[in-house]
């Protein structure tokens, strides 16, 4: 039976007198991967913040769970100067060293890294570590904001294969903001095309037509339809 985990009705967000999101309606079911797609300034990150109640909004946002994990990787990357060990970073989520070791191993990192400084990890290790951090308390929902922005192709692959692994293992629902159309074809159950208002919504094969993409981005977009799906 399909269970709804999020329902959004008539969502409007206004920031600094400007309407960023207008009259948005959609639902997300449990264990779905929903990719939020749109050009710069379309309101994708603002939508995630509204879903978390971090910005004021009008309308209805109803969650069927409270176990929601939010991960803005870029903000974590920017604070790699912090004098914080990996163990202390996990303590911010009230995760014990044992639990932190266990999940680090699940993402392919050695638990001896717990003593290392937050900023001393390589980019690849850092990505794995923040995913482990986001998932350490076994959330029902993950909200990822541009997880691969500024990361090379190899690094992107790591993030998505890890997400896929955790998605396979548990009852995880994922809402992912990205610019990357390949991710949609590879991983999304549903796609939400956003440009301040909802432009299209549904399974990628149905909604990602050249016409819809041109309307969304305001220009022709070249893409290749992948023959397999990760999720």
Partner 1 sequence: MYISTEGIEMQFVLALIIGAFVGGAAGYLGTLMLSKKMGLVAGPLGHLTLPGIAIALMFGFDVSLGAFPMVALGIVLIWLFEIRSKLPMESLTAVVFASGVAITFLFLPEEKTVPALIGDISQISLLAAAIIVVLCTIILVATRRIYPKMIMISISEDLAQAEKVDVRRCNFIYLTCIALTVSLGVRIVGGLMTAALAAIPACTSYNLSKNLSQYSWRGMILGSSACILGIAGFMFTGIPAGLLIILTSASLFLASLAFKR
- Contact mark string toward partner 1, 140..179, x via CB under 8 A: ---x------------------------------------
Q: Are 162 and 136 in contact (CB under 8 A)?
A: no
Q: Which helix (H) or strand (E) holds 168?
A: helix 153-169
Can you say whether residue 188 is alpha, beta or left, with left for phi > 0 and alpha for psi between -120 and 50 degrees? Answer: beta
Q: Which is nearer to partner 1, 142 or 198 (CB)?
A: 142
- Contact mark string toward partner 1, 55..74, x via CB under 8 A: -------------xxxxx--
Distances (CA, A) of 129 to 11, 89, 220, 224: 34, 10, 37, 31
Binding of residue 92 to partner 1 (CB under 8 A): yes
Q: Which is nearer to partner 1, 16 or 154 (CB)?
A: 16
| Closest residue by Cα to residue 162 from 150, 174, 145, 177 | 174
Min. distance of Cβ 128 from partner 1 in angstroms?
Answer: 18
Identified binder of partner 1 from the candidate list 23, 29, 30, 85, rule CB under 8 A:
85
Q: Which is nearer to partner 1, 75 or 98 (CB)?
A: 75
- Contact mark string toward partner 1, 100..139, x via CB under 8 A: ---------------x-x----------------------
Q: Are 86 and 101 in contact (CB under 8 A)?
A: no
Q: How far apart are CA 205 and CA 61, in angstroms?
A: 27
- β-pairing, 197-202 vs 190-195, is antiparallel
Q: What residue ranges bind partner 1 (CB under 8 A)?
A: 49, 52-54, 68-72, 75-76, 79, 82-85, 87-88, 91-93, 115, 117, 143
């Amino acid at each position: 039976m399909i269970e709804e985990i999020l329902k959004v009705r008539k969502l409007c967000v206004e920031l600094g007198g400007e309407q960023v999101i207008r009259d948005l309606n959609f639902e997300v079911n449990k264990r779905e991967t929903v990719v939020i797609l749109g050009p710069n300034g379309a309101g994708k990150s603002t939508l995630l913040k509204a879903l978390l109640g971090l910005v004021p909004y009008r309308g209805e946002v109803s969650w069927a769970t409270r176990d929601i994990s939010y991960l803005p990787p870029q903000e974590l990357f920017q604070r790699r100067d912090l004098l914080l060990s990996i163990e202390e970073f996990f303590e911010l989520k009230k995760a014990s060293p044992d639990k932190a070791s266990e999940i680090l191993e699940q993402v392919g990192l050695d638990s001896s890294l717990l003593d290392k400084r937050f900023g001393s990890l390589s980019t690849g290790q850092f990505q794995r570590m923040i995913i482990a951090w986001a998932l350490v308390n076994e959330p029902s929902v993950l909200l990822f904001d541009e997880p691969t922005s500024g990361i090379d192709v190899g690094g992107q692959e790591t993030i998505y294969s890890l997400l896929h692994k955790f998605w396979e293992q548990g009852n995880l629902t994922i809402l992912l903001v990205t610019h990357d159309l390949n991710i949609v074809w590879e991983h999304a159950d549903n796609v939400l095309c956003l440009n301040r208002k909802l432009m299209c919504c549904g399974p990628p094969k149905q909604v990602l037509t050249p016409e819809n993409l041109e309307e969304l981005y305001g220009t022709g977009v070249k893409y290749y339809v992948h023959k397999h799906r990760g999720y």
